[in-house]
Structure formats: structure tokens, C-alpha cells
Amino acid sequence: MMESAGTKLKALRLQKGLSLEEVHKKTKIHLNILKAIEEDSLINFSPVYIKGFLKIYCKFLGVDPRDCIPDYKEPKSKIIYVSDLQEKSASSFKIPSLRFFSLKALHIKPKVMVTVILILIFIVGLFNLGKFISFKSSRMSKRTKLPTIISYKPESKVPITKLQNSTALKIITLDMHAKEDCFIQVKADGRVIFQNILKKGRSESWQAKDKIELSLGNAGVVELEVNGRRISGLGRRGQAIKNILITKEGLNIKR
């Protein structure tokens, strides 16, 4: 029985100690096509492509293509060409493989690509830094528009200050914010309306018609705002102050 072309080529490849992967890398013929050649199962390929594949394979193995191609029967059927064929066929038809899109094909070195990526990261970082600086600037500008802070000296036995336009006030408003936990007692017009611990980060607001009496367990950790005006420096951290009187005329700490 006459040996087929595929069997001859496979035997010759094995004699040379070559794998199909090595033949694929050298000839650029797809692995599936190489297997089909050696198994004589290229019945679904165009005769033109079959002769082209055989010619390339024979030349790679050092065989005269005339010793193999005449033994191959040309099938009548045709199929659509396989996608990633790169070598020239008998008709000089060429299809580029996906390597065309590789960095090597585009002549881009890995070091250059890394440099480009680092530059992009640096630009994005600068952009975010600019946004952060702009945000901080806007917050600072808003803070400058807050009401003027009035400093008080707790040691004084006279009223610390008087509220502006006191005659025009109809009610007294007290707003308080706790920077840490603080026990607070609030009396509005002689009636206890709050007596509890104001938790850290919490804020409360109270109103009275004539007066507000305030006692603090930790005067240094609260911020007061009386009728829209901020008050600071009531006492030290951990210092308890009782009998803080707030009226339409001002704020006074009884001793």
C-alpha cells in the first residue's frame, strides 16, 4: 500500500525530533492545519490552499514538494479560509495574523509603554490634586463668611458681653455643638428643658422668651452660638461651669 503524503511528512518530522508547535512557529501554519495535513484530512480546503500548505511544509522539512503533492487527491469541495493564516499560498494570497496588533509590530518598546503609563498616572494625580486644592479653597472662603467669634473671659464677674440690637430681639436662641461628650442642663424661662449628656458630634438648639440658664459639665468641649453669634472660651477642658445666664442684654456667668 502506497504511503500518503501526510504520513510521509509526519514520519519525517518525528525523525527530525520536531513537535507540531515548533513547526507552527517556524512555518506560521496553524496547528489545526498541520494536524490535518499529517492525518490526510484536508478534504474541506481549497486545492489551491492545500498545495500551498504542503509546499511550505515540504520545504521546511527539506523534502521536494513534487514527492508529496502529486500523491494528494484534490477534493471538489471548497470552504471559507481559516482566519489567522499568514504565509503565502500558491496564489500568493496573504492574511496578516493577530501579531500585527502586537507591541512588537507597532514598534513600541515595553520601557516606552511603562513610561507612557507613568506619565498618564502623574497627569491624573495632578488633576485630582487641583480639584482637592480647589475644594479646600472653597471651604476656606465659606468659613471667612461665618459670624465673627466673640471671645469671653470666664474669670470676669461682670457681664462678658452684650448682644447687639438686644431691644429688637423677641426670643433668645441658643445653639450648641459638642466636640466631646458633655453633661448639659438647660433651663428656659425657669423650666428645665434639657438635662442629659450631649454626645460627641451632636448639636442641639433651644429658645426662650426671657432667659436661658445653662450649666456645663465640660465647658472646654462645647461651642455656643447665641442669636447667631458664636461664643468661645467659656472654660477649660474638663472644667464644670454652672449658672451661665443668657438674656436679651447679653451673657453672664454667675460666680
Q: Which residue has the higher pLDDT, 193 or 255?
A: 193
Same-domain pairing of 154 and 247: yes
Whether residue 170 sits in one domain with residue 76: no
Could you tell me which residue, 169 or 32, shows the higher pLDDT?
32
Q: Is residue 168 part of a domain?
A: yes
Mean pLDDT, residues 11-32:
91
Backbone angles phi, psi at 47, to 5 degrees: -55, -35
pLDDT band at 248 (very low <50, low <70, confident <90, very high): confident
Is 9 within a domain?
Answer: yes
Residue 169 sits in the same domain as residue 239: yes
What is the b/e burial string over 173-203, where b = at least 16 CB atoms within 10 angstroms of the residue's CB? ebbbbbeeebebebbbeeeeeeeeebeeeee
Answer yes or no: is 119 within a domain. no
Q: Is the pLDDT of residue 83 over 60?
A: no
In a domain, 174, yes or no: yes
> What is the rounded end-to-end Cα distance, in angstroms, of the chain?
125
- Residue 37's domain comprises 5-101
Least trusted range by pLDDT, from 12-26, 65-79, 80-94, 201-215: 80-94
Nearest CA among 241, 201, 199 for reference residue 219: 241
Is 180 within the bounds of a domain?
yes
What's the number of domains the chain is made of? 2
Which of 86, 101, 116 is the last residue before a domain boundary? 101
Give the confidence band of 2 by pLDDT, cuts at 50, 70, 90: low
**Residue 194: per-residue pLDDT:** 93
Give the pLDDT of residue 141: 62
Is 117 within a domain? no
Chain CA centroid to CA 245, Å: 53
Shared-domain flag, residues 156 and 66: no
Nearest 5°: the CA angle 226, 232, 236 is 130
d(CA 44, CA 220): 91
The answer to the question of residue 121 being in a domain is no
Type of residue found at 134: S
Q: For the packed helices 5-15 and 47-61, what is the interaxial angle rounded to 10 degrees?
A: 30
Write the CATH number for 80. Answer: 1.10.260.40
pLDDT greater at residue 154 or residue 231: 231
Checking if the pLDDT of 105 tops 90, the result is no
Whether 90 and 33 map to the same domain: the answer is: yes
- Quick one: 70 and 154 in the same domain? no
Q: Give 43 or 193, the one with higher predicted confidence.
A: 193
50 in a structural domain: yes
Q: Are 173 and 240 within one domain?
A: yes
Q: Is the pLDDT of residue 61 over 60?
A: yes
pLDDT in tens, 180-199: 998 999 999 999 999 999 89
Query: Going edge to edge, which strands form the sheet with 241-247?
Result: 161-162, 250-253, 241-247, 211-216, 182-188, 191-198
